[in-house]
Structure 1
Amino acid sequence: MPKITAPLLESKLRHLPLLHRGKVRDLYAVDDDRLLIVTTDRISAFDVILPTAIAGKGRVLTAISRFWFDRTRNIVPNHLTDDQSLADIIRDRDERALLEGRSLIVKRLKALPVEAVVRGYLIGTGYKDYVATGAVCGITLPKGLPLAARLPEPIFTPATKAAVGDHDENIDFDTTVSLLGRPLAEQVRDTAIKLYQEAAKYALERGIIIADTKFEFGLDDQGTLHLIDEALTPDSSRFWPVDQYKTGISPPSFDKQFVRDWLETLDWDKKTPGPQIPADIVEQTRSRYLEAYRLLTGHHDLEQPNGPTENSSNPLALK
């Protein structure tokens, strides 16, 4: 995998049609059956894309996603396809070098209009809802839980998928049923919780608490559910160091919560345009993402392949 160089804010491929630019990922059409996902170094917070990129962030996210896609395929299939390489679809060497380590060739699937959020701890908007109502997305919780408390069981708290610049909206399970139908809604809920439970157990043994995470799913032509987009990354999850965890505070993190916390100190209305991120915040954010990668995979840099290390004390494949 290439070494971290200048940040990539936007990909501009000459020979593939651009279908969509998201908050972080650029999506290109390969053919009728496949897509190319390019993970840039953009960072968003409060649903606003910030003007400063985090060099190497896209490669870290891609490496972590590959790690989890490989280790959760026994739970649910995912959208990765192995029948083409980057060299097969990107002939230009300079473009290919830009994409190495930050791109995925995936199957075209029908994305579901719901973000499958699973919470194992009470934090963020979940805590705000709990303080106001005693519940999160319609799920009543025990009284008196402090900020960052571990929940008795992980809960499924879905959200609608908003367009870039808009805010995702938390919904209850009945609304999810109205969007997907009950059988599919239950399958998404049960699969998301299973993914979270297995990943959280593994990560805990590596020194990371996965407080919550967001999954996205899609269907193939046969109606088979697939895990898509990204998986258990510092962008889609809250990662807390085990040795610094305590309740009553927002714990230190290995994810973009660090940037959110910095933004909260500013006089900013959380609307576009976002503020420039100072160099020290950029570097600390990048270091936290790399530390999450190191702890989860057992690798110390992005040059190493995504596989188990010889001295790993835990089999990486999730059963």
Structure 2
Amino acid sequence: MIESTGRIPFQVGDETFKTWYRVVGDLTSGIRPLVVLHGGPGIPNPYMYPLEALSTSHNIPVIFYDQIGVGNSSHLREKPSSFWTVDLFMDELDNLIHHFGISDNFSLIGHSWGGMLGSNYAAARRPPGLKALILSSSPASVDLWMECMNELLEAFPGGMRETVKRCERDGLLESEEYEEAMALFNKKHLCKLDPWPQQLLDSLALMAEDMTVTDHMCGREAFVCNATLKNWSVVDIVDQIACPTLVTNGIDDEVQWAGIRDFVEKIPKVKWVRFDKSSHVVMFEEQKRYLAEVGSFLTTV
């Protein structure tokens, strides 16, 4: 298996930063490559590595990269909230696509925040070379995501719900009671496997080393967003996505039907697949079926 890593210069104003990448597969094969957008904002790539199997099962070259401020890319702890915008990350994606010379023929897959970024990129910039888009467990707006999360919380015992709401209101996010309550929620709606996959744990550990992007863009609260993404939405432009699009989520996903409905109902060429044994990380919970669905979609559109 061909594999390479490196760093790409990324110019922002008068400053130059570095975007780290990992390519699995042969970019010279003539087969349309897949660019992977990780979630968070702020969760580095290891948990997305199950997708590297597509390079052997379907001969699809896969390009992973850590978004700026995350993982192996440039860390910018001193930057203010105004720096961290969706346009910044769309510019970085453009830069990466141009670097690899794939502007005329590529696919995108985004998980969670990565799908938010991917849908915004596809709808707002309408790149002609984007031939296929996959939105995995991604909402069409932050308001809809928070709506889903709070509805799921209502299914838990009242004491647990009140603990979560009180701790988020009072800034007690590092308290033992909040962590215990969130552990219960996450075991049902983030990852249902026991134990959690090591690649997911690795990504979460790397995220914890530098929470800059997370803090500025979405904050650490799970059920309310008071950061720069709080008003983010593609609901009004999602019908501008021109390429065939696959939308996926799990039956116990953080992103329920309300979160994906605008994608499914408004994107002109769309397919929706729900995974009935999964929550938010379908790539682990139903890995074989997920990779088969993604691989089939990418090779037939």
More helix by share: 2
* TM-score, L = length of structure 1: 0.30
